[in-house]
Each structure stands twice: as structure tokens, then as C-alpha cells.
Amino acid sequence: MQNQNFTSCWLPDGRREKRSNKLIVTILSKAEVIRRVCHTYLSHLFEGFHIGTELNSQDEIVIGTYEATAQACTNDMQVDGFELRQEQGKTYILSHSDQGLLYGTFYFIEQLQLGMKIEDMSVIQNPATTIRMLNHWDNMDGSIERGYAGRSIFFEDNKLSYDKDRIQQYADLLSSVGINKICINNVNVHQVESRLIEADMLIELQHLADIFRGNYITMFLSINFASPIEIGGLKTADPLDSTVEEWWRRQTKLIYQKIPDFGGFIVKADSEHRPGPFTYGRTHADGANMLAKALAPFNGTVFWRCFVYDCLQDWRDRSTDRARAAYDHFKKLDGLFDENVILQIKNGPMDFQVREPVSPLIGALEKTNYVMEFQVTQEYTGQQIDLCYLVPQWKEILDFDTHLKGKGTTVSEILSGNLHKSLQTGITAVVNVGRDDNWTGHEFAQANLYGYGKLTWDPTFKTEKLLKDWVQITYPFVKDSATRLIEEILNRSWMIYEKYTCPLGVGWMVKTGHHYGPDVNGYEYSPWGTYHFSDRNGLGVDRTKSGSNYIEQYSANVSELYANLNSCPDNLLLFFHHVPYTHPLHSGKTVIQHIYDSHFEGVEDVEHIIYEWTREKANLPDDLYSHINQKLNSQLTNATEWRDKINTYFYRMSGIPDEHQRLIYG
Ligand code: GCV
């Protein structure tokens, strides 16, 4: 295992200045984690630091439940919510539960890091969602599917292999932003990972679950739907076969004997060559419910992914549209899933592209629990080489008005469970960490994980505030002008990445399989259902009534918004329409001129960032300066490649010259 310090992570590190005063904290809770967190992180912040266990007149900070502190309860506090209260010269961190106290303690530490005065801290916070989850795509051989920060922190050589301290730091990192559930292995479960639910593996998993439990994080496993065949020796995995049902019941019982608070299973079924109920002519409700029944006696949950589409499509077949798939498969099953099944829906209808519309399935299910799935790891968004701060993208998605129950039915409102009160809703995401010292490969990619956690806790957080906070917490030793530069470049990074990659929401012009760097026709004649349909006259996918009619899956207002060329936003134009290159955008440019201009601008923006970064060299620590400088230069190479390939391709295709005569590779 590599160096495990928190250098430049958002929790305290050696480079932070201590406050000169002394702090006395009284902890009226038996939870070991609160004491440990105070010790580990508060002692970094004060010259003198003392923990007591009984109230006395010198206390400054008192941490305890309302009951233990004999403080009056505030109305409407959720069990994992917390309050910071000023009372008779003391600051109380209060909650109904130890879990809430943990979040409150981390909040307190964060406010100190942000320079707040203790006596000014007064707040009540409840999480917006009960499911605040992360999915690892870690394989047992130690690799990570779509991982860009080194090897797995959990596995190596087809075994569990982890450093306890580092996992504890990770658990703290997650608790500091309110994450409460984690799945540790890839949704693509190979034969070796199928074995994770066997007795010998469970003994080892117990210890990992113990660490997460200490931080109130529930552990889940991805399972292979065909496990009864792969490891059980059965001839079938048919969900309605009684021997299969019995096999899962037995296996599940075994898991709970070892890990009594095990969360449950994540399932990728009938998706990208993974086995599933379709093989047996059964529905996804049949498949999910069979597992749900095995988990129900132990209060376990099945997260069942809706990423189900035909990945063996014939590109000549214009009647099939991959964007329709999740809705078409799952809307008709609404109401047929057991209570402990939670569907997992990717944020867009395709696959974590730089820009996609919101999945129409969000809010459309009225009698089924579900979560939205984001991708923190930067698969299609720069692979932690190119800078891409994703919080603005997620904010746009969370703020999107689906109009499903009239104006104001935003995605965040839906995910908070306010639309259908009886449903369990929340947010999950594919995480971006690995064994790299800085956790995320590109140091600034930590801001994505921080921002993700904060948004799951409170989707109303403002992007700028989240960014400002992260930069201040992470780089307290960096001078003001450099701090502002970091904020600025992160804030603009998604837009910049979008400018030099796929134009106007069309997506997918990436190298196949790898997904980094341009390949305009990489997926065009492939079976994956991801086409741009460029010809000599124009490009884009017609998803209106005259095409696949994907737009019918939205509410009338949203469908009308996208169907109408006058109202369809420029940045999604080619996702919804096939238009001529000469089509005028709302911006006043033609489509083709926009393609040329945005690609030139994207590269210029990266060059400008490098120029600004170099100017701040004197105000930055050497290691940080060089790390980012090296990443930015790789980004410039990538952006230039994108610019030249995309622009040349569309110039050759359309024959329309650039108004500014910049195309030299025609
Ligand atoms: C884990 C995309 C990725 C795959 C990933 C899949 C999924 O297709 O490229 O690597 O597989 O999404 O979300 O299941």
C-alpha cells in the first residue's frame, strides 16, 4: 500500500495552521467513532485540545443526543439530521442519533476549517435523501473498471487486500459528506467475484463491514444473477425455479450470519452481456423480487439497475433507439416490484455523456422505489486527466423541471421523496477513488467526490459555494489569487470540456471501449446503439415524432420543449433533432460554424488556463503546481486532437468552409 496521508484531501493535513487557543470538548456519547474523529481531526486544528466525558463549566463544545445533554428537541429533526446550538456560553452538537452526531461533528470541523467562529455556529440540518450511496466498480484482480486513480483500495490478486487505516480514512472521508451506503465491487460481476458471497470470503468481508459500520455506512455487494449456476452448481438461474429461490435464500442467510447489517445486492442484469431473467422468459420484476424475498427477512435491499438495452443492435435498424430503452423496459413494470427493491436509473437515457437530457424514467415511476445514478468517475468526461468539475452538470440535472406534477416538479424534489411520499428515493454514483496517494489521480477530481456527497445531502447547495468551500478546506496554505484561479478553472471546466468534445449534445464520438479521445465514427456502425447519423447535409438524431419519438416519454411540457426547434436548447439540439449544417442556432451561428468555433475556443481556453496557472507558480506549492501543470498539458494534447479531428471531419463532410479560415487540415 502506498503512502496514506491525506495530503491535499479535504480533511486536515500537516500544512494547516493551528488555532492558537485550546479547545475542550465533552462527548456525551458512547460511540467510539465520535471520540476518534474528534481526536484525529480536531487535534490538527488547535494548539491545546482536551476531551472530557462529563459536563463541566469549562466546556466549550458538548456533543451528545438531545436526551443525553438534556437539551430540548427541535421539531422535525430526522434521525440522522443534526443541530449546532449556542446555549449559555457553550456550543452543542445535537442529534437524535450517534450517526447524526457524527455528521454534526464533521460539519463542525468543516466550519472551523472554513474559518468560522465557534460562537457563530448555529444550524439545523436534515439530509434531503435517505439513500446517499456510492458504487465501486472494483474487480477482485485489483483493477477498477473506469478507474483513473490507481488500483482498488479493496482487492488485489483475486483476494480482499486492504489497509485498515486507509479504509478507515476513506470511511471518514465519506462520512464527512454524509454518505451512508457503499457497494464495494463492480456491477460487472465475473466468476471470481461471484464467490464473494461464499463462506470463506464472507469471513474476510466481515472485517471490512466492521470498519464501515463504525461510521454508519452500510455495505452492499454486486452479485451475478447467474450465481446459482456459476458457483451453486445448479443448471438454471431461472428466478421462478424453486431450487434457485432456495439457493438464494440459503446464500443470503449465510451472508447475514456473518454480516448482520449487510445492506443487500446491486444487480446489473440483461445488460451488456450480463445474465438476467430474460434468458428464462421472465421479467425484471420476477428477477428482482426473487432476490428481494431472500433479503426481506433480514431487512436487506436489492438495487436493480435500469441500464438495460440492446447492445447487439443492427446499426441499419433505424427503428430502435437506445435512449428509449430504460423507460420502455421499466415503466410498464411500475407497481410490480417488492418494497425492498430499489431501481437504479442513470441520470440520462444513454450513458454518462458530457451532456444528455434527464432520464424520463425519473419521476415517471409512481409505485416503485428508485435512485438516480451519477458517475463521479470521469469515464466520458476526461478520465481524471482532463479537468472536468461535474457539480455544475449534476446541479443542472437536479434543478431540471420535469413538469410531471405541474411546474416546479424538479428532479431534486422528486429524489427527496416529495412527489410520491410512499416511495424510497435517493442518489447513488460510481465513485472515482483508487490507491493513488491523493485518492483521485487528478487532485482536483476530489472536488467531484466532495461535491457529490454534499449534493446528496442537500441538492440546493450552490455550485460556487461548494467549490469555494472545497478549495478553502483543501488548500488553506495557498495564496488568495491562486485560490481564486483554482475556483475559476474548476468552475469553467465542464463547459470547456464540452466545447472541444462532442457538439450540441450528440455524444459518443469517442474511441470505442476506451472512451478517451476522439473517434467520430468509432460507434457509428457498431451494435451499441450510439449513432450521430452525419451525412453531407447534416447531423443529429431525430427523436421527435418523425423519428424514434423518444420525446413522448416526457411530460407534455418537456416533450414540447424538446420537440420544437424554436425552444429546444442549443446544447441538446443534436440529441433530439437531425438538422442541416446550415441550421441557425439560438446563438445566431449556424451548426457548422458553432462546431468550428467551439472547438477552437475549447483549445484556446485550455491554453489560457495553462498560461494563468504558470503565472501563479510563485503562489503555489511546487508539488501542486507541477501535478496540475502536467495534467493540463496532457489535456491540451487531447483537446487539440479533438479539435482537429472533429473540425476536419465536419469540414470534409459538409464542404462548408470556416468563416475565419482556420481549417488547415481539410
Ligand atoms: C460497469 C458503461 C461503461 C461500462 C459500465 C456500464 C455500466 O457502458 O462503459 O464500463 O460497466 O456503463 O454502467 O454498467
Give the pLDDT confidence score for residue 368 in this predicted structure. Answer: 97
Q: Whose CA is nearest to atom 13 of ligand 1?
A: 307
- Phi/psi class of residue 417: alpha, beta or left (left: φ > 0; alpha: ψ in -120 to 50)? left
Give the pLDDT confidence score for residue 44 in this predicted structure. Answer: 79
pLDDT (average), residues 371-377: 98
pLDDT in tens, 507-553: 999 999 999 999 999 999 999 999 999 999 999 999 999 999 999 99
Are 85 and 230 contained in the same domain?
A: no
Give yes or no for a contact between 326 and 361, defined as CB atoms under 8 angstroms apart: yes
Round to whole Å and give the CA distance between 648 and 46: 59
Is residue 293 a part of any domain in this protein? yes
pLDDT (average), residues 248-267: 98
Q: What angle do CA 244, 250, 256 make, to 5 degrees?
A: 135
Question: Does ligand 1 lie within 6 Å of residue 447's CB atom?
Answer: no
Q: Work out which ligand 1 atom sits closest to the CA atom of 515.
A: 9
CATH code (residue 91): 3.30.379.10
Are 160 and 262 contained in the same domain?
A: yes
Residue 477 scores a pLDDT above 90: no
pLDDT in tens, 34-52: 999 999 888 878 888 888 8
Known catalytic membership, residue 498: no
Question: Does ligand 1 lie within 6 Å of residue 627's CB atom?
Answer: no
**Ligand 1 centroid – CA 588 distance (Å):** 37
Round to whole Å and give the CA distance between 350 and 332: 19
Round to whole Å and give the CA distance between 575 and 540: 6
Is residue 238 a part of any domain in this protein? yes
Last residue of a domain, one of 406, 431, 461: 461
pLDDT (average), residues 119-142: 97
SS3 580: strand
CA neighbor of 80 nearest in space, from 467, 473, 460, 458: 458
Last residue of a domain, one of 58, 92, 125: 125
pLDDT in tens, 310-358: 999 999 999 999 999 999 999 999 999 999 999 999 999 999 999 999 9
- Residue 615's contacts (CB-CB under 8 Å, 6 or more residues apart) are none
Q: Work out which ligand 1 atom sits closest to the CA atom of 430.
A: 13
Choosing from 47, 119, 272, 339, the catalytic residue is: 272
Are 102 and 225 contained in the same domain?
A: no
Is residue 616 a part of any domain in this protein? yes
Are 103 and 188 contained in the same domain?
A: no
Question: Does ligand 1 lie within 6 Å of residue 619's CB atom?
Answer: no
pLDDT in tens, 3-19: 333 333 555 455 667 77
The burial class, CB within 10 Å (0-12 / 13-18 / 19+), for 282 is middle
Are 42 and 182 contained in the same domain?
A: no
- Phi/psi class of residue 278: alpha, beta or left (left: φ > 0; alpha: ψ in -120 to 50)? alpha
Could you tell me the CA-to-CA distances from 223 to 190, 257, 263, 422, 488 in Å, in that order? 9, 18, 13, 27, 42
Could you tell me the CA-to-CA distances from 356 to 241, 590, 646, 654 in Å, in that order? 39, 21, 19, 25
Choosing from 270, 338, 356, 379, the catalytic residue is: 379
**Ligand 1 centroid – CA 137 distance (Å):** 9
CA neighbor of 392 nearest in space, from 468, 440, 462: 462
Using pLDDT thresholds of 50, 70 and 90, give the confidence band for residue 615.
very high
Is residue 270 a part of any domain in this protein? yes
pLDDT (average), residues 602-621: 97
Are 74 and 180 contained in the same domain?
A: no
Stated length of the chain? 666
Are 78 and 218 contained in the same domain?
A: no
pLDDT in tens, 76-87: 999 999 999 999
Q: Which three cell numbers stand for residue 576?
A: 433530439
Domains identified in the chain, total number: 3
Question: Does ligand 1 lie within 6 Å of residue 145's CB atom?
Answer: yes
Range of the domain at 283: 131-313+323-348+360-461
**Which of 16-25, 114-123, 215-224, 470-479 has maximum average pLDDT?**
215-224
Give the pLDDT confidence score for residue 3 in this predicted structure. Answer: 34
Pocket test for ligand 1, best of 183, 351, 526, 528 (most atoms within 8 A of CB): 351
E-state strands within 278-399: 301-305, 341-346, 369-375
pLDDT in tens, 636-657: 999 999 999 999 999 999 999 9
CA neighbor of 513 nearest in space, from 380, 341, 353: 380
Residue 594 scores a pLDDT above 50: yes
CATH code (residue 247): 3.20.20.80
Q: Whose CA is nearest to atom 11 of ligand 1?
A: 188
CATH code (residue 593): 3.90.1330.10
Is residue 551 a part of any domain in this protein? no
Are 368 and 245 contained in the same domain?
A: yes
Are 390 and 444 contained in the same domain?
A: yes
CA neighbor of 495 nearest in space, from 312, 354, 639, 666: 354
Confidence (pTM): 0.96
Residue 421 scores a pLDDT above 80: yes
Using pLDDT thresholds of 50, 70 and 90, give the confidence band for residue 409.
very high
Question: Does ligand 1 lie within 6 Å of residue 187's CB atom?
Answer: yes
Task: Report the chain's terminal Cα–Cα distance, integer Å.
Answer: 50
Are 298 and 447 contained in the same domain?
A: yes
Is residue 204 a part of any domain in this protein? yes
Give the pLDDT confidence score for residue 56 in this predicted structure. Answer: 73
Mean pLDDT of the chain: 95
Spell out a b/e string for 166-175, using b for 16 or more CB atoms within 10 Å of the CB, else e. bbbbbbbbbb
Round to whole Å and give the CA distance between 609 and 627: 14
Is residue 277 a part of any domain in this protein? yes
Give the pLDDT confidence score for residue 176 in this predicted structure. Answer: 95
Is residue 559 a part of any domain in this protein? no
Round to whole Å and give the CA distance between 348 and 365: 15
Are 523 and 600 contained in the same domain?
A: yes
pLDDT (average), residues 459-467: 94
pLDDT (average), residues 592-612: 98
How many Cβ atoms sit within 10 Å of the Cβ of residue 260?
12
Give the pLDDT confidence score for residue 10 in this predicted structure. Answer: 56
Give yes or no for a contact between 2 and 437, defined as CB atoms under 8 angstroms apart: yes
Round to whole Å and give the CA distance between 131 and 530: 31
Question: Does ligand 1 lie within 6 Å of residue 146's CB atom?
Answer: yes
Last residue of a domain, one of 411, 444, 461: 461
Known catalytic membership, residue 272: yes
Could you tell me the CA-to-CA distances from 544 to 23, 328, 575 in Å, in that order? 63, 16, 10
Are 307 and 408 contained in the same domain?
A: yes
SS3 216: coil
- Which residues share a beta bridge with 344? 305, 371
Query: What is the percent of the chain with per-residue pLDDT over 90, rounded to a whole number?
Result: 90
Question: Does ligand 1 lie within 6 Å of residue 107's CB atom?
Answer: no
Give yes or no for a contact between 322 and 508, defined as CB atoms under 8 angstroms apart: no
pLDDT in tens, 541-569: 999 999 999 999 999 999 999 999 999 99
Choosing from 80, 270, 321, 351, the catalytic residue is: 351
